[in-house]
Amino acid sequence: MAGSIPPLHGPRYAQISGWGMAVPEKVVSNADLARTVDTNDEWIVSHTGIKERRVAGDKESTFSLAVRAAREALLVAGLQPSRLDLVIVATVTPEYFFPSTACLVQDAIGAAFAGAYDLSAGCSGFVYALNQAASAVRSGSAEHVLVIGSETLTRIIDWSDRNSCVLFGDGAGAVVVSACAERCGIMASVLGSDGSGGDLLIVPGGGSRTPPSHEMVDRGDQFLKMNGREVYRFAATVMPRATEAAVHKAGWQLADLSLIIPHQANARIIDAAIKRLNLPSDRFFINIDRYGNTSSASIPIALCEAIAAGRVNQGDRMVFVGFGAGLTWAAAAVEWGVPEPTKPRPWYLRWVAEIWYFLAGVRSVARRTERHFYDRVMGPEGADGVRGELRQRTDRLRLKIAGSTQRSTQPKPPKSLPAPPPPKQDPPNDDHGNTPPK
């Protein structure tokens, strides 16, 4: 981590201190799709730039991919999960309506003292979440925030629709955002929305407007619906505008940028943005050919691959820019403050991490078991007899343990600065205007 953690009263910046990604093992090529729908490799590549995509298996989900990416990010950051203050998961394919996927991740990694919530902003979700994390760190309400973009979009697409099934893939990417005293990290963010275009990219069924029913399934409303032409027009315009706005807000020039990591939706959209921004194409990182559109996971996955390819160096200025359902758009100007590790982390750190995650699992099972048996073993609240007395004593003990845990995890207040000496004052004059002798 670049720089020491500043006290609450000092200048604070929010930088990316760790990163990680996870993708399913299963690869579905264009040739595979051509055997099930009326399409071919040449058409898909020429219209989208996609050659293959990853598809989650039966035992993989948004949650499991998020946990894998989170563990990698924490390992790179060298951070214990117990030091996290907040977990944010950006997703449009959550594990459940509720509880949030972020809460499941918080439990799985053992982030016992972190808040957690999901954020839904379509493919812009990761940059939205990054802005939330940076704001929390800069304000002093958090020191370390875990931001994850995780999706299993292949679970909500109609595999018989060749216009949509060729576009999407599954994956997850995560970053750790930490407080820093040096001027670096997430320097500016721009967020936008236009709800009048909400019907251009939508899953119409399953919510309160169209609850699950046989009729809903018969219509196929549980699948993603997209007006591709209108989404293309919107994206080709808003992506360069958002990039320019973030650069201007950070006080930079477009020529200062070393790298732009766009949302990997369609190669033609990225090409249109390159032309409008009038920048060399080698300043854009593109990996859509291997993963397809992974929605909120596309930017953090691309960031991880850009770092691995040596495209990100300390001091580089870059922009993350995305657009998506809502309609939404977002861009973040980032000055990279963490040098890439020159060698892998020691092997024993992975062993330590695995032990931690095993203990986190044990803790989770213990808490679930305790809740399950609590009301069965204890008597009802306020009841007489042995079981009622046992419950009262147990409740007092639980409150005492909770209070001691809360006190032990409270951050220490910053050391107060010494008070400045009082200003020197001239002695008062006498009635005739003369200064009395010292």
pLDDT tens column, 337-381? 987 665 566 777 777 888 888 888 888 888 888 777 776 677 666
Question: Which of 28-57 are b and which e, b meaning 16 or more Cβ less than 10 Å from the residue's Cβ?
Answer: bebeebbeeeebebeebeebbbbbbbbbbe
pLDDT attached to residue 425: 55
DSSP class per residue in 190-228:
EEEE-GGGGGGEE--SSSSSS-S-HHHHHHTTTS-EE-H
Residue 201 forms beta bridges with which residues?
Answer: 226
Q: Which sequence positions are flagged as catalytic?
A: 123, 263, 293
Single-letter residue type at 189: S
Mean pLDDT (whole number) for 249-268? 98
**Angle, alpha carbons 185-187-193 (nearest 5°):** 120
Residue 129 has pLDDT above 90, yes or no: yes
Non-local (6+) Cβ contacts of 1 within 8 A are: 15, 17, 77, 78, 178, 180, 338
pLDDT band at 9 (very low <50, low <70, confident <90, very high): low
Euclidean distance between the first and final Cα of the chain, in Å? Answer: 57
pLDDT-above-90 percentage for the chain: 74
Residue 172: helix, strand or coil by DSSP?
strand
**Angle, alpha carbons 284-147-125 (nearest 5°):** 60
Token pair listed for 419: 């008070």
Residue 322 forms beta bridges with which residues?
Answer: 330
Residue 133 has pLDDT above 90, yes or no: yes
Token pair listed for 348: 């024993």
Give the count of beta carbons closer than 10 Å to the beta carbon of residue 228. Answer: 15
Q: How far apart are CA 35 and CA 159, in angstroms?
A: 12
pLDDT band at 295 (very low <50, low <70, confident <90, very high): very high
Q: What letter would DSSP give residue 344?
A: P
This prediction has a pTM of 0.88
Mean pLDDT (whole number) for 42-46? 97
Residue 188 forms beta bridges with which residues?
Answer: 333
pLDDT attached to residue 415: 41
pLDDT tens for each residue of 178-227:
999 999 999 999 999 999 999 999 999 999 999 999 999 999 999 999 99
Where are the strands (E) in 338-418, listed by range?
none
pLDDT band at 306 (very low <50, low <70, confident <90, very high): very high
Mean pLDDT (whole number) for 67-73? 97
Token pair listed for 18: 């760790």
Token pair listed for 151: 């999706």
pLDDT tens for each residue of 385-403:
777 777 777 778 777 776 6
Q: How far apart are CA 308 and CA 293, in angstroms?
A: 20
